[in-house]
Chain A
Amino acid sequence: MSDRALIPLLSAIALTAIIAACLVGSTTMSPGRLLAAMVGAGGAGDAIVLWEIRLPRAIAAFVVGAALGLCGAALQGLLRNPLAEPGVLGVSACASLGATLALFYGAAALSPIAVPVAAISGALAATALLAFAAIHTSSVITLILIGFGLSSFAGALMALLLNLAPNPFTLSDLISWTLGSVANRSFDDILLAAPFMIVGLVFIVLSRRALSALSLGEEAAHGLGVDLPRARGFVILGTGLVTGAAVSIAGAIGFIGIMAPHLVRPLVGYDPARTLAPSAILGGVILVLADIGVRLIPSPAELRLGVVAALIGAPAFVWIAIGRGRTHG
């Protein structure tokens, strides 16, 4: 399949998934009612369900999934490793630690952008540390282990905050950050994160050719004319901003950034630059579908999106790692 056909096809699938997400829920809405609500002709209840609840939620799921799919593809290109991903490398965990700290210490009450900024700072700190490590070691395993260490440390600090939570409300707030969810998100939440995402996206897009050149290794990329410090800086800044912004919307959601690029790569000739856009769209689709699943699976308490994503994604991670072990010896 050519790349030109892939992006429109994925976009059509994404649109269908978002519409489907608006149709299903505790009360199923028929396509006719959805259409009526959309143009403002239906009942007031339908309009609220659509505009205040389902559509923002579906868009939030798509945006977060797209952000994670894009960051996964960018980090994998930079680190030349299909297992690199914001979740696996501890970037998401550090971002949600940042957000949690902002909530815990009440900074969120001071300014609406406190949480996104805190989440992004956490993500940038993690990506910077990883990039520093990546310069000093060529071992992919070392990086994954550092990511594991980062996740564990961020997890431990989060557990400490849970432990010290002064009241059940703070506790439940903290838990929803750890588990990841797009329930009850409004367009305002998305708009707050959007500028950070757009700036991050620009940084990543500007380094896309460098990511392709990096397929040949860092020395060869240098020889080709890649400004390595700039490329590293841009990808780190870009993924830090985008992941942090995604976490500020939905909390930590793992493995989307692994699955989406892995599925897309064979369709675009394994070129890291051409993997970015389709992997972002597919990441969005996966998360919208997972969120539909979250709402449809009958359960006593609503399932958390991050939990469902990990239930699908973690086995996929193991599967990719085993496949990689087989081909790379």
Chain B
Amino acid sequence: MAEIKLNNVCVEAGGARLLHNASASFRPGELIALIGPNGAGKTTLLKCALALTAPSAGTVTLNGKAIADFSPIERARLVSYLPQSRPLAWPVRVCDVVALGRYAYGASTTKLKGEDASAVAEAMRDCGLNHLADRRTNTLSGGELARVHCARAFAAKAPFLIADEPVASLDPSHQFQIMTLIRAYVDNGGGAVVVLHDIALAARFADRLIWMKDGEINANGAPEETLTTAQMKQIFAVSAVIAKDHNGWSLTVTGDD
């Protein structure tokens, strides 16, 4: 069965403990939100799952095989990645960025054929980019650019998506759009791990919340089980009012301890 599994993973860098005994598993059909303050180790955990960072202890496996033993191409066919910083060195065309999503299949951006062409077309359509296909990325708004990066990640058609703050600096409408796209990807059988800072948004879209602090996983469970005022106080040191009704979750931070 397809699974990304972290087992007691520790990461140390320059004497600092970035991740300590983190264990978690990610499976298709599940949207997992990583939650925690800045510096909690969320990005480090994702990087371990992608073989971007080598753990100092513990194991990371993908479908039962150590992640470090995968060739970059093999890994990319199973896990697509949307990093936190998404610099674009050149004002490339939208369609060319999305086509890069097919890199692991050997596709060249100029001559897309068969499966590559249909995967790119599908990702462009799903993310509402058809009318922007020939636009240069430096002429797009932040929201449009976020959709381009999502489409690029979806075009890989990988069973797993790892997204580090995919909705950072987006307006509420675009945050919703992007999360809806990721939710649809999961409902179609993908497995997504997403770092989010908007906890109400995370609770609304995610099946499971993984709470992190100081490099450790503090809690791991459905929003109904783990999204509590006590948890908010423990992780973020804030008082919060949390409610769930037919509109979904709402969360108001009422004080800073």
A contact residues vs B (CB 8 Å cutoff): 3, 80-81, 209, 212-217, 219-220, 222-227, 265, 269-274, 327
Given contacts A219-B52, A220-B86, contact A209 B103 (CB under 8 A): yes
Q: B109 an interface residue at 8 Å Cβ cutoff?
A: yes
- A222: chain B residues at CB < 8 Å are 50, 52, 72, 81
Q: Interface stretch among B13-21, B58-66, B89-97, B113-121?
A: B89-97
- The reply to whether A271 and B88 contact each other, CB–CB distance below 8 Å, is no
Shortest Cβ distance from B13 into chain A, in angstroms? 14
Q: B110 an interface residue at 8 Å Cβ cutoff?
A: yes
Complex: how many Å from CA A274 to CA B92? 11
Q: B80 an interface residue at 8 Å Cβ cutoff?
A: yes
Shortest Cβ distance from B71 into chain A, in angstroms? 8
Given contacts A219-B81, A269-B96, contact A214 B89 (CB under 8 A): yes
- The reply to whether B97 and A216 contact each other, CB–CB distance below 8 Å, is yes
A sample of 21 cross-chain residue pairs with beta-carbon separation below 8 angstroms, ordered by A number, consists of A80-B90, A212-B109, A213-B103, A214-B89, A216-B86, A217-B85, A217-B89, A219-B85, A220-B86, A224-B76, A224-B81, A224-B100, A224-B103, A225-B76, A226-B72, A269-B96, A270-B91, A270-B92, A273-B108, A274-B110, A327-B138
Question: Looking at the complex, which one of A215, A227, A274 makes contact with B89 (CB distance below 8 Å)?
Answer: A215
- A270: chain B residues at CB < 8 Å are 90-93, 136
Q: B208 an interface residue at 8 Å Cβ cutoff?
A: no
In the complex, residue of chain B having the shortest beta-carbon distance to the beta carbon of A224 = B103
- B89: chain A residues at CB < 8 Å are 80-81, 214-217
B contact residues vs A (CB 8 Å cutoff): 50, 52, 71-73, 75-77, 79-83, 85-93, 96-97, 100-101, 103-104, 106, 108-110, 136, 138, 152, 156, 162
Complex: how many Å from CA A98 to CA B251? 66
Complex: how many Å from CA A217 to CA B100? 12
Most buried by B among A209, A271, A272: A271
In the complex, residue of chain B having the shortest beta-carbon distance to the beta carbon of A81 = B89
Complex: how many Å from CA A223 to CA B104? 9
- The reply to whether B109 and A225 contact each other, CB–CB distance below 8 Å, is no
Complex: how many Å from CA A137 to CA B103? 26
Shortest Cβ distance from B244 into chain A, in angstroms? 34
In the complex, residue of chain B having the shortest beta-carbon distance to the beta carbon of A80 = B89
Shortest Cβ distance from B182 into chain A, in angstroms? 16
Complex: how many Å from CA A269 to CA B136? 8
- The reply to whether A217 and B86 contact each other, CB–CB distance below 8 Å, is yes
Question: Looking at the complex, which one of A3, A80, A216 makes contact with B152 (CB distance below 8 Å)?
Answer: A216
- The reply to whether B104 and A225 contact each other, CB–CB distance below 8 Å, is yes
- B96: chain A residues at CB < 8 Å are 212, 269, 271
- The reply to whether A215 and B72 contact each other, CB–CB distance below 8 Å, is no
Question: Looking at the complex, which one of B88, B103, B152, B156 makes contact with A226 (CB distance below 8 Å)?
Answer: B103
In the complex, residue of chain A having the shortest beta-carbon distance to the beta carbon of B83 = A219
A-B contacts besides A213-B103, A220-B86, 8 pairs, CB < 8 Å? A209-B108, A212-B100, A215-B88, A223-B80, A225-B73, A270-B91, A271-B96, A271-B110
Shortest Cβ distance from A77 into chain B, in angstroms? 8
Shortest Cβ distance from B128 into chain A, in angstroms? 20
- The reply to whether A224 and B101 contact each other, CB–CB distance below 8 Å, is yes
Most buried by B among A217, A224, A226, A274: A224
Shortest Cβ distance from A88 into chain B, in angstroms? 17
Complex: how many Å from CA A265 to CA B71? 32
In the complex, residue of chain A having the shortest beta-carbon distance to the beta carbon of B138 = A327
Complex: how many Å from CA A212 to CA B93? 12
Complex: how many Å from CA A217 to CA B109? 17
Shortest Cβ distance from B22 into chain A, in angstroms? 20
Complex: how many Å from CA A264 to CA B188? 42
In the complex, residue of chain A having the shortest beta-carbon distance to the beta carbon of B105 = A225
Complex: how many Å from CA A214 to CA B96? 13
- The reply to whether A3 and B110 contact each other, CB–CB distance below 8 Å, is yes
- A215: chain B residues at CB < 8 Å are 88-90, 92, 97, 100
In the complex, residue of chain A having the shortest beta-carbon distance to the beta carbon of B107 = A209
- B80: chain A residues at CB < 8 Å are 223-224
Most buried by A among B83, B106, B138, B152: B83
In the complex, residue of chain B having the shortest beta-carbon distance to the beta carbon of A274 = B110
- The reply to whether A269 and B103 contact each other, CB–CB distance below 8 Å, is no
Given contacts A3-B110, A270-B90, A327-B138, contact A217 B73 (CB under 8 A): no
Which 8 pairs, one residue from A and one from B, show the smallest C-beta to C-beta distance? A223-B81, A225-B76, A80-B89, A225-B104, A270-B90, A219-B83, A224-B103, A225-B73
- B156: chain A residues at CB < 8 Å are 224
- The reply to whether B103 and A225 contact each other, CB–CB distance below 8 Å, is yes
- A274: chain B residues at CB < 8 Å are 109-110
